[in-house]
Amino acid sequence: MKAWLQLIRVPNLLTVPGDPIAGFLVISLLTGAKADTLLIVAVISSLLLYIGGLITNDVCDMEIDREQRPTRPLPSGRISPAAASSTATVLFITALLISFFYGSHDLFVLSAVLCLLTLTYNRLTKSIPVLGVTNMALCRAFNVLLGTAAGGFGINDAQTFVSDPIVMSAVLFAPSVIFVYTLALSIVAKNETHGKIDILAFAPAFVIALVGLSRVCELYRNLTTITAFLSALCLTAGLTVTIRSGWKIYHAEYPAMTPKHVGHLISGMIPLQTFLMLTAGEAGILPAALTIAAYPIFFALARKFYAS
């Protein structure tokens, strides 16, 4: 069991539900949607696709891991490639079936696109400069869009999306924030096995700071005092962790503890997602509280299971 928990990078799973939930809450300001089974389907589908992607990633990287990470479950022989591939296939199919039978047409289409993006990254674009990290960032952005679809905004609303800048901003805000953060994170992670990482180690922290500065005035105009305060608190927590991790990565000599601190950068998704949820106002307080509660749990799990 421990080998499988290592393979699916169990700490990272805590960063997944926040994507569709944030997407749902942000778009609900526009659509007036209330949480229902569609949101649950979006979260379950995103988790299954994410886990399937992690397993496929390690299957595709097995030869590299034999040299650079020989103790991991696949190169060490604790899990066979056949078992891992079969499990990933089942997870992908299950995610698509759930979104098809229990979700909506839009949710199924986006799940299928996300599945395709995940497989394309693992099997084709991962090693291609620029394209690989962009592909990874798109995977996370589409994870957010699952929540947008659950919130009632879908393919049939494309004309409104194109013609109305306010609608376009509402739809793209949360996916764009997660896309840019994932892009910055992926650039750092891409170099964790290639030697000392330069000033790019601070890119994730820069993204969080930029998001905070770009939204702070609007937050304090439009949100209650408590939601504005909590938003600032979440961004401060994320900024503190990402700066600290960036500093340690910047000064680390490979192999040192670079993968560990890259894992900590992944945790920065949680306060960022919480911030996005709080932009929905009071409706976002409870889901934001539950999401940020996963932050210390991430670090507790990261002591036993690698995240990067």
Domain ranges in the chain are: 11-153+163-302
Structure tokens at 140: 């996370």
**H-helix or E-strand containing 54?**
helix 37-60
Residue 252 CA to residue 196 CA, distance in Å, equals 7
| Residue 209 confidence (pLDDT) above 90 | no
**Could you report the per-residue pLDDT of 72-105, keeping only the tens digit for each?**
999 999 999 999 999 999 999 999 999 999 999 9
CA angle 101, 106, 108 (to 5 degrees): 40
Q: What is the dihedral angle through the alpha carbons of 90, 95, 96, 99, rounded to the nearest 10 degrees?
A: 150
pTM of this structure: 0.93
Q: Is 130 helix (H, G, I), strand (E, B) or coil?
A: coil
| Residue 221 confidence (pLDDT) above 60 | no
| Residue 226 confidence (pLDDT) above 80 | no
- Domain 11-153+163-302, CATH 1.10.600 — does that match? yes
**What is the residue type of 216?**
V
